[in-house]
């Protein structure tokens, strides 16, 4: 996602084919834990592994899917934190791009507030996480607020998609 929360790529307004609809709806959770997960998905959908991979790549290129991958409970594997920055509006796109360039950053988004750029970072351990946040601060010359989770709540954000 870009800093403004809009998808990268085109406007995202295009007709989805049946395979794309099924990928978006059927695999919001329960992603196959397999050496070849896309082959398992393809078998369930009655198509080829390459068709699944191509469809997901197209959805990503068009900005309709930001990432395909696992979501782990925070701090169960490695260390993670929510971070935030106050970025001058004229620097927001450049700083968001820099933040997103770190492989440890899952996503970032803009909020309408003085503290306007928020992101989630995950690393192998708390030490590496601190290094990443420090490096972002150093390279942007801006303070990075580290807001580690105090108590976790699980909210399943999956929901059946309605196609009109």
Segment 128-135 long-range contacts (CB within 8 Å, at least 24 positions apart)? 128/79, 128/104, 129/78, 129/79, 129/80, 129/81, 129/104, 132/102, 132/104, 132/105, 133/81, 133/83, 135/102
* DSSP H helices in the chain: 18-26, 37-45, 49-61, 92-100, 126-140
Q: What's the CATH code, domain 79-147?
A: 3.30.70.3460
pLDDT tens string for the chain (164 positions)?
333 333 334 444 688 999 999 999 898 888 898 999 999 999 999 999 999 999 999 998 988 887 787 666 666 678 889 999 999 999 999 999 999 999 999 888 999 999 999 999 999 999 999 999 999 999 999 999 999 888 877 666 677 777 77
pTM of the shown model: 0.59
């Amino acid at each position: 996602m870009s800093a403004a929360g809009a998808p990268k790529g085109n406007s995202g307004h295009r007709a989805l084919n049946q395979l794309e609809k099924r990928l978006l709806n059927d695999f919001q959770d329960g992603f196959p834990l397999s050496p070849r997960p896309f082959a398992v998905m393809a078998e369930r959908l009655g198509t080829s592994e390459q068709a699944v991979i191509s469809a997901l790549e197209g959805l990503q290129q068009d900005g309709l899917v930001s990432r395909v991958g696992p979501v782990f409970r925070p701090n169960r594997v490695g260390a993670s934190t929510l971070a935030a920055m106050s970025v001058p509006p004229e620097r927001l796109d450049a700083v968001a791009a820099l933040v997103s360039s770190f492989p440890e950053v899952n996503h970032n988004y803009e909020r309408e507030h003085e503290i306007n750029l928020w992101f989630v970072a995950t690393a192998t351990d708390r030490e590496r996480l601190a290094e990443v946040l420090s490096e972002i601060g150093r390279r942007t010359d801006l303070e990075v607020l580290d807001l580690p989770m105090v108590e976790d709540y699980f909210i399943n954000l999956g929901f059946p998609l309605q196609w009109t």
